[in-house]
Amino acid sequence: MSESARLLLSINTGSSSVKLGVYRDGAPPAEVTPIAADTTLDAFLEMLVSTGQAGSVVGVGHRLVHGGPKYRQPCRIDPAVRGDLEKIVPLAPNHLPQALAAIDRVARQFPAWPQVACFDTAFHRTLPARARTLPLGPQVANADVMRYGFHGLSYEFLVESLR
């Protein structure tokens, strides 16, 4: 790898797997397959260190299943965002804890790497109120329970690819 190569890491944590990708100077990653293992991210980060590539990382993008009512656009993860995401774990308890653990793991070992959250619910952010509202009464809607729409990052990719 050349000294000038810049690497962008992609981390997609699911409920029982993680997909990792490396974009080199903006080029798409090679095929990335899901791996179900608690130590996968640790091994990946160790590989970047042992091969001397860690210094070329310019950022980390995380796919998060949910941004709640507040986060609808990609955003840089700082302590305030991290705290807000912790509060909405009940909205996606099978996915957000793993994503937050990956964010924390990267932040501990590489605190200078900027991390960005990309929310799977963002594609559907423009749903009109009547489409977001579930027929469960105002007390439920006031508790941030609404139709958010999921798999939006995949839909966005498909729409852009078909243009």
Which residues are tagged catalytic?
120
Neighbours of 69 (CB within 10 A): 14
Helix (H) or strand (E) segment spanning residue 18: strand 18-24
Kindly give, in sequence order, each residue whose CB lies less than 8 Å from that of residue 46, ignoring residues fewer than 6 positions away.
Answer: none
- C-alpha distances (whole Å) from 155 to each of 50, 79, 146, 162 are 36, 29, 20, 11
5 sits in which H/E element: none
Instruction: Extract the tokens encoding 92.
Output: 């996606």
11 token code pair: 């981390």
